[in-house]
Amino acid sequence: MAVPKRKMSRSNTRHRRSAWKASVPTLVKTVVDGKTVYSLPHRARVVEDSQGTPLFLEYKGRKVADA
């Protein structure tokens, strides 16, 4: 395990930590049954029935897994 040779100042520590930022995910807008749905690209979509019960996972119009 790497061990620092000298103490890192509080200013340098905070400056280093502040460089890590969370990025906003890119969403893809699709229209499903007349409703606009935003989803993450390259992810399976959960197909639900009219009551909201998850039925299966779908990717590019194909069933890929049971929910």
- Domain hosting 54: range is 24-66
37 within domain boundaries: yes
60 within domain boundaries: yes
35 within domain boundaries: yes
pLDDT, tens only, 20-65: 888 888 998 988 778 898 888 888 888 889 898 999 999 888 999 9
- What's 8-39 look like in SS3? CCHHHHHHHHHCCCCCCCCCEEEEECCEEEEE
CA 2 to chain centroid: 32
Task: Put residue 55 in one of left, alpha, beta given phi > 0 → left and psi -120 to 50 → alpha.
Answer: alpha
Residue 7 pLDDT > 90, yes or no?
yes
Tell me the residue length of the chain.
Answer: 67
10 within domain boundaries: no
